Amino acid sequence: MQSMTNRLLLAVLLCAGCAPAATGGASEDSVVKTAAAAPSGPGLDLSGKRGTPLQSFQLKDVRGVPYRVSKHLGKDVIMISFWATWCGPCKQELAAMSPVYDELAGQGFAYLAISTDGPETLSEVRSYVGSYGYAFPVLLDSKSTVLDKFHPTGTLPFYLLVNRNGEIVEQHQGFSTGDETKLRAKVLSLLGEGS
Amino acid sequence: MNRFPRIWMWLVLALMVPASSAEAIELNWGALGDGGLAITDSLQIRYLETNFNSSDDDDGVLTVLNKLNLVGTAGGFSLGFRVDSAHYFFEQCVDESACLFQDYVNPEFNSEHLLPEKLHFGWEGSLGTGSLAVKAGDFYTSFGRGMTLNIRKVDELGLDTSLQGGRVHLQNDHLTFEAVAGRTNIQNVAPIDNRYLEDPDDVIVGIETLVGGDGIELGVRGVHVEYADATVLGHEESATIAGGSLNIPDIAGMFAVYVEGALSASHDYDPQADSAPFSNVPGKAFYGALNGFFGAFNLLLEGKHYRQFQISPRDNTLRTVGIVYNAPPTLERYDQLVSSTSDTSGARLRLDYYVRASGTRVYANGLYQAFATGGNDPLGDKGKRAAHVYLGFRQTFGRDVSVELSGGWRDERVSEPLQPGKSLLRHLWHLETDVNVKLGNEQALNVKAEHRTECKPSLSSKDEDCGLLDSEASGHRFHRSLITATYAVQSVLRTSVLYGYTNEQPRAVPTDHFGVQFDWDFMAGSTLRAFGGSLPGGFICAGGTCVDVPPSSSYRLEIVSRF
């Protein structure tokens, strides 16, 4: 078991050595056409950033209709937010991102809110989002199978940002009031990259 | 102590590797095409100063717990594994062999320290207009609303139970089929107190089929459980559940209906019994939900009727930490103590109303149910009654300020008191508030507060002002509050201070608790968290099970690295 541990550590450290090639840098060619209204700052420009391809998945929405994320892959900028009705900061994030979605949906921004509510609170999901009249798709991952793919620790809220090439360029855990301003800037940056 | 060098290797790994890369690693897997390797490492170093109980032996415990999770993907393939590592150091321990290892840590585990917690290999691909997913190893699953099967992560309780075996999942627009088989695999290091728990190794097989079209979906499902732990007692125990459901998610754009029912049979064979070695306990469960959507006004009406219906490990310790294999909806608040999910009948009504023009949301919830323990009939003379009402509102002021306030009242009574007029079993009232303020472009403040005043049965103390109780016990009145203020800067640095108060007896020695926590997102997706102070503890409930978190004074450093 001792040698197994050492081999494991070695493998992980070797993988870490691959990191600089994967990180990439800001592309000089990228033009953020719509970023004029967005605040600038460190970490807000994701244009040119490369990442892991998002594995496609399919879930049902709150009306029971199958929803395939593949229809956005390679075309739209996607933000996937994992949330639950019992999670306060998650609900803040949904409320804060709703106007961002309303503003940018027409420019190729897809916002998917994936509820990880289990059987206990599943019945409350549609009532909750319905009363707010959110326009973005709300999908159900009551088995946490999709969440587990991208976020094994499972702590909510958690989001993924995917560029127009279908690559995950950012993932983040937690939400504080005001984060939506930065998220909007990042989305604009990614939208500008592919247009 | 000779294990320390390995601990520092983990620490160095957790701190240094994300500094070089904070994103998933993009790789080319040759013929399989482009893919990635996602590595998540969670390292927790916790020093438990005291848990305020009468024993000193379980105080002064240093635990170093690491969870390393790797998932490689290429095309439709994925391969992942998780290895946990735990190290325990007992301050009170002079002779290691005489320490609490037998209670706290499995001796074999303590010598190896490594747990290959999960391993899975999967493939997902298109099949006609639908998809097919095959998985071998560890996976989560639940059938319907969790009534017949619910093996999954319960974040609220920190539980992580998977089925280790195989799963086939087929889905298209009109058919969903899932078949599972495997043994139950729990997260062996308990999230509440880091104690080592053995895997139950119970074997579960199940099938679910959902057939839908034109807005109606019919489901049928069956599950069989063979209990491994029962053999320790010389018994052979098993359970079989079969059920069905009807889901109409959209009726004229205004309503949604979901109903589900199941029958169960728990079998026990005791070869030592002189007479009637076989016993069969039948159970049943029915659940229904009606949603109404009327623009800003939404309605939810739910009902339940469960009798002797709970599928859980035979090991009482595992039940104590909240592990169950099915979880029918309780209709309770997520944070409410649920006395029983196996014998209960009741209903709840919830109303939500949102005024978009003013940013005001109001909600009201009422629950009434009968419940019983020990296999008694909740509607009979051993039954108890619970009523719970709560109201709340959330108000936003522009995009910068939101305020939520809620409060409620709960009352529990026995059906037939031993003394006339002394039917009250437990009552409480509670208040919660959550305030968020955006301060400029880079800062935010969040203040949360919750309070409850409760009277509950107690054998050790009596408070006349409880006005209690059923004559089986005296009443103890206590207060519990928790206030947390969090200041966030640039959404990467958060500082929280908390104050907790409780005079609940006999579990909490101090009444006042203070703590400080720092959260720093030092790289995208990676967080360092440090906590120091004491917490009042209390019940955390989810999915019909509750975990009693003891009060504690501790210091904790946690690093979640993602690269």
The candidate with the shortest Cα–Cα distance to B129, out of B96, B172, B161, B164, is: B172
Tell me whether the omega of the peptide bond preceding residue B506 falls within 30 degrees of 0, making it cis. Answer: yes
Give helix B4-20 / helix A2-17 axis angle, nearest 10°: 20
Range scoring the smallest mean pLDDT among A67-76, A181-190, B415-424: B415-424
pLDDT value at B272 more than 50: yes
Minimum mean pLDDT range among B67-81, B91-105, B110-124:
B91-105
Query: CB-CB: which of A1, A16, A149 is closest to B17?
Result: A16
Q: Does B304 touch chain A (CB under 8 A)?
A: no
Mean pLDDT of B27-45: 77
Mutation pick from A3, A120, A140, A165 vs chain B, by most beta carbons of B within 10 Å, is A120
pLDDT at A137 over 90: yes
Rounded Cα distance between B37 and B26, Å, is 7
Residue of B26, B216, B402 to mutate, interface with A, max A Cβ within 10 Å:
B26
pLDDT band at B340 (very low <50, low <70, confident <90, very high): low
Task: Catalogue all structural domains in chain A, each as residue range(s) with its CATH number.
Answer: 39-193 (3.40.30.10)
CB pairs under 8 A between A and B: 250
DSSP secondary structure letters along A23-81: H----TT---TTGGGSPP-TT---TT---EEPPP-EEEETTS-EEEGGGTTTTSEEEEE
User: Cis ω on the peptide bond leading into residue B132 (within 30° of 0)?
Assistant: no
Say if residues B532 and B498 touch (Cβ distance below 8 Å).
Answer: no
Asked if B122 and B135 touch (Cβ cutoff 8 Å), the reply is yes
d(CA B508, CA B552): 9
Mean local confidence (pLDDT), A17-32: 27
**CA-based nearest distance A177→chain B, Å:** 6
Helices within B27-174 (DSSP H only): 101-104, 107-112
Query: Are the beta carbons of B81 and B45 closer than 8 angstroms?
Result: no
- State the Cα–Cα distance between residues B416 and B343, nearest whole angstrom: 17
Dihedral through CA B470, CA B473, CA B474, CA B476, nearest 10? Answer: -100
DSSP string, B243-261: EEEEEEEEETTTEEEEEEE
To the nearest whole Å, the CA of B282 is away from the closest chain A CA by: 23
Rounded mean pLDDT of chain B? 82
How far apart, in Å, do the first and last CA atoms of chain A sit? 52
Chain B neighbors of A55, CB-CB under 8 A: 73, 76, 78, 124
Tell me how close the Cα of A65 comes to any Cα of chain B, in angstroms. Answer: 8
Distance between B267 CA and the closest CA of chain A, angstroms:
26
- Check residue A46 and give its pLDDT: 64
pLDDT band (50, 70, 90) for residue B273: confident
Higher-scoring residue by pLDDT: A51, B199: B199
Selected for mutation to probe chain A from B147, B153, B523, B541 (highest A CB count within 10 Å) is B153
Question: Is B40 part of the contact surface with chain A (CB cutoff 8 Å)?
Answer: yes
Minimal Cα–Cα distance from B151 to chain A, Å?
8
Within an 8 Å CB–CB cutoff, is residue A168 touching chain B? yes
* A135 close contact with B: CB closer than 8 A: no
Q: ipTM score here?
A: 0.80
Q: Which residue of B has its CA nearest to A40?
A: B441
B291 confidence band (pLDDT: 50, 70, 90): very high
The amino acid occupying position B23 is E
pTM of the model: 0.83
Greater pLDDT, B147 or B272: B147
∠ Cα B354 B356 B360 (to 5°):
55
Q: Distance between CA A117 and CA A91 in Å, rounded?
A: 12
Amino acid in the structure at residue B320: T
pLDDT confidence band for B224 (50 / 70 / 90): very high
Is B17 an interface residue toward A (CB < 8 Å)?
A: yes
What's the rounded Cα separation, in Å, for the pair A167 and B337?
Answer: 43
Beta bridge partners of A140: A60, A115
Contact criterion met (CB < 8 Å) for A86 and B353:
no
Nearest CA in chain B to A42: B490
Taking a C-beta distance cutoff of 8 angstroms, is the pair A42, A76 a contact? Answer: no
Phi/psi for B207 (5° steps) reads: -135, 140
Is the C-alpha dihedral spanning B407, B505, B497, B8 positive or negative?
negative
Q: Which residue has the higher pLDDT, A153 or B209?
A: B209
The whole-angstrom separation of Cα B405 and Cα A114 is 26
Whether B519 has its CB under 8 Å from any CB of chain A: the answer is: yes
Q: Name residues 314-343 of chain B within 8 A of A (Cβ).
A: 327-330, 334-335
Residue B416 touches partner A, C-beta closer than 8 Å: no
* Residue among B437, B455, B454, B459 at smallest CA distance from B446: B437
